[in-house]
Structure 1
Amino acid sequence: MLPSSRSTDRSVLWADDSGSASLEFITAGLVLLVPLVYLVLAMSSIQAGSLAVEGAARQASRVFVQSGDIATAQSSAIRAVEFALTDHGIDPDSASIVVACAPDPSNCLTRRGFVTVTVELSAPLPLVPPVLVGDFPVAVPLSASSTQQVSRFWGGG
């Protein structure tokens, strides 16, 4: 072979792309697909937590205003929150419940009074180990409030 034909063969070999398309597809696919899948998992976890706190607050305020006395109302509201969070696969112990009453904060069950139930929790991000602690968030705080009015015909004790 002549030296000039040898350099031509090398340039042809370097320019040949046969078989590299699959390698490029796998590399680009992993680089783009892994973050996209994690984003979908994270958003679904946050959405599930958001639906859980919203449903829990709404149901807790409903059962609170329909109860006969304050003790029954509080236990019914706690049960409603526990049920709603468990239904969405969230540990009820991770949530906090706050009940506020207006116009009389000392007596929630007054006719035409308003009861506001607020439920707060932190939705953990998926695939984050619990031992990971730092200056970055590993959970998203979620909060929902619901206000219901006590019936003007309420006649509880």
Structure 2
Amino acid sequence: MRADPGLDDAERGSAALEFIVVGLLMLVPLVYLIVALGLVQEQSLGAEAGARHLARAVSTATGVEDARDRADRVLAAVKDEYGLDDVDLALTCTPAGVACPSAGATLVVTVRTTVALPLVPPVLGLERIAVVPVEAIAAHRVSRFWGGE
């Protein structure tokens, strides 16, 4: 025995509409999250590569001018490769009190940058608030043949 087809006409076709609406409500934030995490990952890889390569380039240099030239070339290459825009760079040496860099010291390079979240409008300063800070630190022992003054 068949049920009367006129009883459930109000519910007919709504499953497809519900699937589309719920699918969009779930899909849009998921795609945004994937894009944002991809940007943060790219910048964090760039900061880490920059810190590591800068520490190695400066610590194996033969003098101050050589170290400065190497650091400029490495930083420019890393910025270009990973799309880093605003980079803060800090170099310190341990033990404390020694000239930086000096033979036998440990050079610590810190690279800081920020990642702007996508699609944030420049309204009410939201573009300054919606950033993710990224920091990478690398240490490398300075060559005993360092020739800096």
How high is the TM-score relative to the length of structure 1? 0.80
Asked if 1:90 is matched to 2:84, the reply is yes
How high is the TM-score relative to the length of structure 2? 0.84
Q: CA deviation at 1:112?
A: 1.6
* Structure 2 residue ranges without an equivalent (≥5): none
1:64 to 26, 50, 58: 58
Change (3 A) 1:11 1:40: same
Distance (whole Å) between structure 2 residues aligned to residue 151 and residue 67 of structure 1: 8
- What residue number does 2:9 align with? 13
Instruction: Verify the 8 A CA contact 2:47 2:111 in the aligned structure 1.
Output: yes
- What residue number does 2:115 align with? 123
Asked if 1:111 is matched to 2:74, the reply is no
Distance (whole Å) between structure 2 residues aligned to residue 135 and residue 52 of structure 1: 22
- AA partner of residue 40 (structure 1): I
Change (3 A) 1:79 1:155: closer
Q: CA deviation at 1:21?
A: 2.2
Deviations, residues 4-38 of structure 1 (Å, cap 9, x unaligned): xxxx8864423x42x22221111011100000000
Deviations, residues 13-68 of structure 1 (Å, cap 9, x unaligned): 23x42x22221111011100000000001100110110010000000000001112
Aligned residues: 145
Over the aligned positions, Cα root-mean-square deviation in angstroms equals 2.4
Pick the structure with greater CA Rg.
Answer: 1
Instruction: Verify the 8 A CA contact 1:66 1:150 in the aligned structure 2.
Output: yes
Asked if 1:22 is matched to 2:16, the reply is yes
Percentage identity across paired residues of the two chains: 35
* Structure 1 residue ranges without an equivalent (≥5): 1-7
